[in-house]
Amino acid sequence: MPNKKKNQVTASPERRRELLGTAAEVFAAQGYNATTVRKIADAAGMLAGSLYYHFDSKESMLDEILSTFLDELWEGYDSVLAAGLGPRETIEALVTESFREIDRHRAAVAIYQKESRHLSAQPRFHYLADSQQKFEKAWLGTLERGVRARVFRADLDIRLTYRFVRDTVWVAASWYRPGGLHSPEEIARQYLSMVLDGIALRT
């Protein structure tokens, strides 16, 4: 492997984003362990050696893909959580923000879902476990607040509800494609209608 400090050069921000986008798609499709630098380079239309001029390893690429996604996710989530909204409105805003992130970082979400459990055991990726704990605290806290405020049902199993909503939203990364029939906001509205109001006709 070429020496990072000796050979690595700085790519333009646009080229760097393009290469990371390509790497994310390969990681999402083939899995981290099965992906080689050569496969990423092939998908980017360049030689593997040339890719090392921009990134020292596939681990560095994955790190930047996941950290960029999570930094942006938490920028949006923290804004929602600091807005002083009611419990239902907070859930609505968090779900909407989640679908916006799927729209912006679909491949990164897919990688996170497949790889985060084993990656988080590595020191370099420990932030994945920290983020998951923070994520769970935000959602459970909002649901508990809603039950206390009698906005949500008193018999709600908070943890089960959290897992259902979390999985229902984030699994959309497996089928969602940017530029499709529905905007992320419209998909969020439909999901929220089903989660919060159900699908049966009220009589």
Q: What's the token pair of residue 93?
A: 């805003």
For residues 181-201, b (16+ Cβ closer than 10 Å) or e, as one string?
eeebeebbeebbeebeeeeee
User: Does the reported pTM lie above 0.95?
Assistant: no
Give mean pLDDT, residues 11-19: 85
46-64 pLDDT, tens digit per residue, is 998 889 888 999 999 999 9
* pLDDT score of 10 more than 70: no
Burial class (CB in 10 A: 0-12, 13-18, 19+), 88: middle
Question: What's the CA gap between 75 and 69, in Å, rounded?
Answer: 10
Burial class (CB in 10 A: 0-12, 13-18, 19+), 122: exposed
25-48 pLDDT, tens digit per residue, is 999 999 999 999 999 999 999 998
Phi-psi region of 196 (alpha: psi -120 to 50; beta: other; left: phi over 0): alpha
| pLDDT for residue 8 | 47
130-142 pLDDT, tens digit per residue, is 999 999 999 999 9
Tell me the DSSP string of 50-61.
HHTTT-S-HHHH
